[in-house]
């Protein structure tokens, strides 16, 4: 009987916690999208594949978190075009306070997680030397193994993507040499 009462209390508490988490107004749960300045995009040639301006989600920190940054590369309906868009985003964010970051976390999921792998070192170099920088990739690892038909599908796909995006310079020379193996 005690176990049953305890179970009911736990279920009620868990339900209440979930209700509290979602009781905020929708405007408090979303961060507005920010378009890269058109002059920056034009100077760098940083346009999305559909010709639109690159965009990112940005919400300025406050109080003790003013110089702590989270930059998340989302995998959604934005049509990124590689290195130039990365440069445009960083160029846009540095004057907004990223140049003074004390702590910064670069994160991303799926293709955004792959971008985290590609840009982590560059992100760290863009920040002050005393900044603490962490990078975390969620599902951004695509295994370089033969598929069920014994083809190198992923290798071929990524070779084409690296060439299309112009991100060869993001790879260390030893990684580049390894990728050319037969």
**Domain limits, the chain:** 31-141
pLDDT tens per residue across span 61-100: 889 999 999 988 876 655 556 788 899 999 999 999 999 9
Please tell me whether the overall predicted TM-score, pTM, comes out greater than 0.75 for this model.
no
Which of 115, 57, 60 shows the shortest CA–CA distance to 87?
Answer: 115
- What does the angle CA 60 – CA 72 – CA 96 come to, to the nearest 5 degrees? 30
Considering the chain, what percentage of its residues have pLDDT values greater than 90? 37
| 159 against 91, higher pLDDT | 91
Q: Kind and range of the H or E element at 35?
A: strand 33-35
User: How far is 137 from 148, CA to CA, in rounded Å?
Assistant: 26
């Amino acid at each position: 009987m005690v176990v049953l009462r305890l179970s009911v209390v736990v279920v009620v508490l868990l339900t209440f916690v979930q209700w509290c988490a979602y009781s905020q107004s929708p405007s408090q749960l979303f961060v507005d999208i920010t378009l890269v300045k058109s002059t920056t995009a034009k100077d760098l040639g940083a346009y999305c594949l559909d010709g639109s301006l690159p965009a990112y989600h940005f919400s300025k920190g406050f109080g003790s978190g003013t110089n702590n940054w989270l930059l998340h590369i989302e995998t959604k309906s934005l049509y990124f075009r590689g290195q130039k868009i990365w440069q445009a985003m960083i160029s846009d964010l540095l004057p907004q306070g990223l140049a003074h970051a004390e702590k910064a976390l670069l994160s991303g999921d799926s293709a955004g997680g792959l971008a985290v792998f590609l840009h982590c070192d560059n992100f760290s170099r863009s920040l002050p030397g005393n900044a603490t920088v962490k990078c975390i990739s969620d599902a951004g690892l695509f295994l370089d193994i033969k598929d069920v038909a014994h083809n190198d599908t992923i290798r071929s796909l990524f070779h084409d993507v690296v060439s299309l995006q112009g991100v060869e310079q993001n790879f260390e020379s030893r990684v580049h040499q390894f990728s050319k193996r037969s």
